[in-house]
Homo-oligomer: A and B are copies of this chain.
Amino acid sequence: MSENLPPVQTQSQDPDQEHDHDHEALTSPLLPHYQRASNSTSQLAIVGVNVCPIESLDYETAENDFYKQDWRARDKIQNFQYIFMKWLLCFLIGCFVSVVGFCNNLAVENIAGVKFVITSNMMLTGRYEMAFLVFFLSNLVLTLFAAIITTFISPAAAGSGIPEVKAYLNGVDAPGIISLRTLIVKIIGSISAVSSSLLVGKAGPMMHIGACIASLLGQGGSRRYGLTWKWIRLFKNDRDRRDLVTCGSAAGIAAAFRAPVGGVLFALEEMASWWTSGLLWRAFFTTAVVAIILRALIDVCLSGKCGLFGKGGLIMFDVYSANISYHMADVPPVLLLGVVGGIFGSLYNFLLDKVLRVYAIINKKSVTYKIFIACTISIFTSCLLFGLPWLASCQPCPLDSTEDCPTIGRSGNYKKFQCPPGHYNDLASLIFNTNDDAIRNLFSKNTDAEFQHSTMLIFFVTCFILSIISYGVVAPAGLFVPVIVTGASYGRFVGMLFSSRTNLNHGLFAVLGAASFLGGSMRMTVSLCVIILELTNNLLLLPMIMIVLLVSKTVADAFNGNIYDLIMKAKGFPYLEAHVEPYMRQLTVADVVTGPLQVCHGNEKVGNIVHILKTTNHQGFPVIDEPPHSESPVLYGLILRAHLITLLKKRVFLRTPVRIGADAFRHFSADEFAKKGLGNVDKIEDIKLTEEEMEMFLDLHPFTNASPYTVVETMSLAKASTLFREVGLRHLLVIPKRTTGSPVVGILTRHDFMPEHVLGLHPLLQTRRNKLTHVRVTRSSTGLLNSTGRREVKISLSKIPKA
């Protein structure tokens, strides 16, 4: 096959010289240090806590004759089915996600609630050691349970899942990101991790749960259990699945925060790489369903049938005060809050990234280590939460309070802890409580006198440390709530410092502090703004929140990136950025395309196909018609590995290399070419063929995508990258400028556009990268590959590029 290809002649722009000097350019490499090698980027990534091989998704329609025939055969009923199913699936996603979100909250509130009620009652009667023991043991057991199910059943369920789903929506397919197992472990694990007083959130896991539910529904349930529906077959492709997952992740955030518009915007701003107005509408529909069902479920709970799930349920920190007003004098402290919040946010990202790398190294060693870390963090957290309140001095109860003081039972702002009657421990009110209640306390208005300076400072430092060390635990763990609680305590502390100079109350400062931390860490603007507004239910805060978000994001951007991008990079996902690196303008696609190429002929011998499939792990092969079948070698199209395997499995072989035409369609149904669910890939090794069959032929024409996207080899890499990203490709064929030799120079995949790869090929760019000087790249020869054509698939954590 490709061994017969002549060496490919590539050339690129040199503006300073005449272009006709091809002979000279062909022999004198201008970048002598550079040895063209196979693509060196990793094809492995860390999914959850597991290292998995990754593939790209097929968002491009494989427009082969078979597909066209199938498409034409669709009648009105099938079109109606498709549209109906789209909306039905969105409706079902909304239903399931809202129910799961509600149950999740219900379970957490009840489990954590019972724990706090028991320990608080023991504290009231002075049995402090016993209280600590119960608190400590219940936390440890819950953490252990979450860690064990995550480790042994679905390691992909660890962490928040946002980086994984974000990578998925960018076109990265990793087994286990989205599966029934992951879903179940994520739900149960998230409940027990949050209930165990670890400082972890539930929003990220909810988003992942939403994505899993959406994808599973789109697959029509599990094939293994016979739960499939015929109408769903139209959704068996990556494009529709991507749209469903986008809706699912919007629904997840909407359910976590009861913020339907915020959920849509979060999916749009942070998660999705491609977006259409139709999708916006479906996502909006999905989150509307979530909002309505959640409201109905909460209505049910208002009558008191939900145990300890009362007001303390779904996050909704209603801070409305009609008489809110602010003036120019309030701006300087708010700006300061934003600046410092941005610095803290980027510091948070920096530390979290480092801690995760350390954890990843430890986690790799053995399962025991994973469990050990989880236990250590749980014990440390329990000790801090129980121990720190003893440092705080007891405060006398306010006389004019409308609440019970000290608090009796579940919720309330005045925890007694170890204090004498008539007093409360302000630190315990924050720290010895669920995170949701702590946030509510911090956000609440008319409580300016409740907390001491030292309390707030201790709480802030504790949260900052705990939120960084807790996220890496091998269990479902979100980042939103930890960041909000840390930011709120920081904001309230700043508010206390400025209380003489401003007439904003401390609760508002807490809201703005949370906004500044979110902005500094997650770097979103519109979606965070709307989420915070929906959480606090106060539109008058809007201009303030906008200022804070803008300032903190601007400041933090000067230091490092978005936390999710940092994690995604550390995990090794080949994420395609929308923007183009400047040095890509200086390169042509010929400078990065690697070879040699494996090609198929239009009528190919079965044995050759099997050989190609076995000796490479490429996922797409150019199909070329050569003499005598055509006058000169002509590129016919591109065929996918999955389709070749389907053809081989079917064993419809020909004795001679002829075209079969429409005959081909009789033997196949569209379902056989449909994209399987995640991770369900047929392997070439499973197909056993006889010697005789190996000598027969296959006509690949009807199954070849005859409209692959192509670029000429002189195309600038920047523009090819734009094409690749905007259209959402998996393979981009590079065709030669001159027409002697092979009609195709090579194939570009996602990995070829990764900066590490490009800079690895052209180290000069690396050294001059920040100088923006002129790098002359005139010519490079096609390179070498190891004998199997297999790309290097090593990963080492120390080699993962620094963000």
Contacts and interface: CB of A to CB of B under 8 A. Distances in A.
A539 B550 contact: no
Interface stretch (A60-68, A133-141, A457-465): A60-68
A579 B719 CA distance: 22
Given A327-B299, A659-B19, A546 B269 contact: no
A797 B291 CA distance: 46
B543 A280 contact: no
Contact of A13 (B20, B65, B738): B65
Interface stretch (A69-77, A218-226, A688-696): A69-77
Nearest to A637: B714
Pick the most buried of A526, A588, A716, A718: most chain B CB atoms within 10 A of its CB.
A526
A455 to B, nearest CB: 31
A774 B65 CA distance: 12
B543 A288 contact: yes
Given A63-B716, A75-B772, A707-B714, A16 B661 contact: yes
A63 to B, nearest CB: 5
A212 interface: no
Q: Name which of A284, A578, A723 has the most chain B CB atoms within 10 A of its CB.
A: A284
A11 to B, nearest CB: 11
A534 interface: yes
A276 interface: yes
Interface string A528-550: 01100110011110110011001
A662 B20 contact: no
A404 to B, nearest CB: 24
Given A61-B719, A291-B546, A711-B710, A701 B19 contact: yes
Given A260-B543, A280-B525, A772-B79, A18 B585 contact: no
A6 interface: no
A285 interface: yes
Assembly of this chain: how many copies?
Answer: 2
Contacts of A40: none
A17 interface: yes
A45 interface: no
B526 A261 contact: yes
Given A61-B719, A711-B710, A280 B727 contact: no
A707 B715 contact: yes
A480 interface: no
A285 B537 CA distance: 22
Contacts of A292: 543, 546-547
B715 A712 contact: no
Contact of A15 (B299, B530, B632, B702): B702
A269 B553 CA distance: 24
A127 interface: no
Given A71-B585, A281-B553, A738 B634 contact: yes
A513 to B, nearest CB: 18
A539 B537 contact: yes
B578 A276 contact: yes
A79 to B, nearest CB: 7
A631 B738 contact: yes
Interface string A508-537: 000000000000000001100110011001
A526 B280 contact: yes
B546 A260 contact: yes
A773 interface: yes
Contacts of A634: 737-738
B281 A525 contact: yes
A61 B582 CA distance: 13
A261 B15 contact: no
Contacts of A328: 296
Given A79-B772, A292-B543, A719 B707 contact: yes
A275 B74 CA distance: 34
A711 B708 CA distance: 9
A291 B543 contact: yes
Contacts of A281: 525, 553
Contacts of A772: 72, 74-76, 79
Interface string A73-104: 01110010000000000000000000000000
A708 B534 CA distance: 46
Contacts of A275: 275
A298 to B, nearest CB: 11
A554 to B, nearest CB: 9
A295 interface: yes
A659 B553 contact: no
A706 B718 CA distance: 13
Interface string A281-323: 1001101100110011001000000000000000000001010
Contacts of A287: 546
A530 B534 CA distance: 11
Interface in A151-177: none
Contacts of A261: 526, 529-530, 533, 542
A265 B723 contact: no
B15 A69 contact: yes
A278 interface: yes
A314 B631 CA distance: 73
Interface in A678-729: 701-702, 706-707, 709-712, 714-716, 718-719, 722-723, 726-727
A216 interface: no
Interface in A328-383: 328
A505 interface: no
Nearest to A661: B18
A773 B72 contact: yes
Contact of A716 (B66, B707, B735): B707
Interface in A565-582: 578-579
18 contacts: A13-B65, A13-B706, A15-B702, A18-B659, A63-B718, A72-B774, A76-B772, A261-B542, A276-B578, A276-B579, A278-B579, A281-B525, A285-B525, A292-B547, A296-B328, A320-B322, A534-B542, A707-B714
Given A15-B68, A539-B539, 12 more contacts: A15-B65, A15-B66, A15-B69, A18-B661, A63-B585, A68-B585, A72-B586, A260-B546, A284-B546, A284-B550, A322-B322, A709-B719
The 6 closest A-B pairs by CB, nearest first: A15-B65, A739-B739, A288-B546, A726-B726, A707-B716, A72-B774
